[in-house]
Amino acid sequence: MPHAQGAPVTSWAGRTAAEIAAAVRERRITPREVVAEHLARIELLDARVGAFRTVRAQAALAEADEVGARGDLPELPLAGVPVAVKDNLAVRGESTRVGSAATPDTPAGQDHVTVARLRAAGAVVVGLTNVPELCVFGTSEGVYGIVRNPWDTTRTAGGSSGGSAAAVAAGMVPVALGNDGMGSLRIPAANCGLIALKPGRGVVPAGIGDGDWFGMSENGPLATTAEDARLMFSVLADAPDAARPSGAEPRRIAVSVRSPLPGVTVSRPYTSAAREAAKLLAGAGHRVRRADPPYPLWLGTASLAHWTAGTSVDARGLDPRDLARRTRVHAAVGRRFVRSVREGDRRDRLRRRMEPFFAEHDVLLTPALARRGPAAAPWHERGWLRNLLANTAYSPLTPPWNLTGWPAMSVPFGTLPGGAPCAVQLVGRPGSELELLALAGQLAELRPWQRTAPLG
């Protein structure tokens, strides 16, 4: 378990959520002790990482005491587990700023349903994590600071769930809650060496912004192990049976290293990771073959229309003078697409186009990203087109599965030349979340990864 240089050696910061919950249920440690150790790690490291917009130190300790006093403590699946919540989901008593100076600094009267489920399961919310303004981009920076990748602090953690991913990768919390509208869980997870699951539509309550980006956005877990991701998913989906481990049955797996977008190439480290993961899965008994999904030529324009239109809806009612220029332009572009996106059938057409492919294959394996994340920099001060090109160049492989509404996840696999994590993406048919989690667990056994960054 890595510790920062000069940090006190603790018993529980850096442990998995499953280990912590088991120890708390068995009363080997109290929730207060667990939370206090994680708060100390946040205080020690977050000035260098920028994961949190706000840390709820005193409130979290008080809530930890409440968890410890619960009569159902021995039954709580997340007993005493510290969690971080992305700052676009309501946490009772805290404002939801969504990375913007334009949003009201008004405490939420009640928890978002996913936060309420985590708390009911015994988790303790230690803070809200940084995001890019209105959760638009694949890098996380703005008026509340720049979120850096704990594995390489010169690089972005990714976005838009960048703060949540950085908090987990740095060992400040064992798991975190984020969401994914165009890759916003999978992008930062791939950068930061984590597992992230974007569930299929309707499996976990959404309620993100004003309309979930026309149904593309889903809430899901960020974790360092498949076991923790499964555990948190079972709570978020209110499906206790999902927490039970299951083996990876032999599957028909298609491996594709082709970019869905013409003109955007995938770099060698990411194509190599996908091919190597495919070899390992074939050796483990899966039927693996090269096969490219039938990506349509209009995929790029459909993605841009949905992406910008979702932002346009979220920006309504906000003072544009308080928004960054890139956000204003993104929303302005999206205004011309709102009606066509709302009334159009591009998402249905994409699903129909992909269904024969997923009738022939159970799972699609691809690179998670096309290249490493951009530099950690004030991207919010740069032009819209520059942001658009940077995002598209490094993450063309995630948006198709938001458009279909099907489950997809990022899984750490190997390392980049500089030593930061590399990753692959798994995609499945509707209802295949547990199959994907089982495959992720098998990949972890075949090619283990270091769970947290060696900050020091």
* DSSP secondary structure letter of residue 373: P
Convert the pLDDT of each residue in 381-405 to its tens digit.
Answer: 999 999 999 999 999 999 999 999 9
Q: Taking Cα atoms as reference points, which of 24, 22, 23, 1 lies closest to residue 13? A: 1
Residues 356-378: pLDDT tens digits? 999 999 999 999 999 999 999 99
The average pLDDT across 63-68 equals 98
Which residues make Cβ contacts (< 8 Å) with residue 400, sequence separation at least 6? 260, 293, 295, 299, 303, 350, 354
For residue 3, pLDDT beyond 50: no
pLDDT exceeds 90 at position 225: yes
Judged against a pLDDT cut of 70, whether residue 25 lies above it is answered with yes
Has residue 9 been placed in a domain?
Answer: no
Residue 8 pLDDT exceeds 50: no
* Rounded percentage of the chain residues whose pLDDT exceeds 70: 98
For 103-114, the pLDDT digits (tens) are 999 999 999 999
**Per the structure, how many domains does the chain have?**
1
Beta strands in 44-107 (DSSP E): 52-55, 82-86
The pLDDT confidence band at residue 245, using thresholds 50, 70 and 90, is confident
**pLDDT, position 1:** 37
pTM score above 0.75? yes
Please check the confidence at residue 229 and state whether its pLDDT lies above 60.
yes
For the chain, counts of helices (H) and of strands (E): 16, 15
Catalytically active residues are 86, 160, 184
Give 293's pLDDT tier (boundaries 50, 70, 90).
Answer: very high
Mean pLDDT of the chain: 96
* Whether the predicted pLDDT of 101 surpasses 50: yes
Pairing of strands 82-86, 124-129: parallel
Asked whether residue 11 is assigned to any structural domain, the reply reads: no
Indicate if the pLDDT at residue 149 is higher than 60: yes
Return the pLDDT at 10: 54
* Distance separating alpha carbons of residues 228 and 223, to the nearest angstrom: 6
Residue 371 lies in domain: 17-446
Q: For position 246, what pLDDT does the model report?
A: 79
CA-based nearest residue to 436, from 366, 373, 372: 366
Round to whole Å and give the CA distance between 363 and 348: 20
- Average the pLDDT over 186-211 and give the result: 97
pLDDT value at residue 244 = 86
Q: Give percent of the chain above pLDDT 90.
A: 95
Instruction: Give me the pLDDT at residue 456, please.
Output: 59
| Range 146-173 average pLDDT | 98
Q: What is the pLDDT of residue 147?
A: 98
- Answer whether residue 258 shows pLDDT above 50: yes
How far does CA 100 lie from the centroid of its chain?
A: 20
Helix (H) or strand (E) holding 424: strand 421-428
Please check whether residue 112 lies inside any domain of the structure: yes
Per-residue pLDDT at 4 exceeds 60: no
What number is the average pLDDT over the span 415-441? 97
The reply to whether 229 falls in a domain is: yes
pLDDT value for 11: 79
pLDDT at 248: 80
pLDDT for 5 beyond 90: no
Give me the CATH number covering residue 115: 3.90.1300.10
Residue 2 lies inside a defined structural domain of this protein: no
Q: Is the pLDDT of residue 167 over 80?
A: yes
At 166, the pLDDT band (50, 70, 90 cuts) reads very high
**Residue 8 forms part of a structural domain:** no
Residue 127, in any domain of the structure = yes
Q: Please, which pLDDT band fits residue 256 given cuts at 50, 70 and 90?
A: very high
Question: Can you give the pLDDT at residue 401?
Answer: 98
Can you give the length of the chain in residues? 456
| Average of per-residue pLDDT across 337-364 | 98
The predicted pLDDT at position 6 comes to 39
The answer to whether residue 88 is domain-embedded is yes
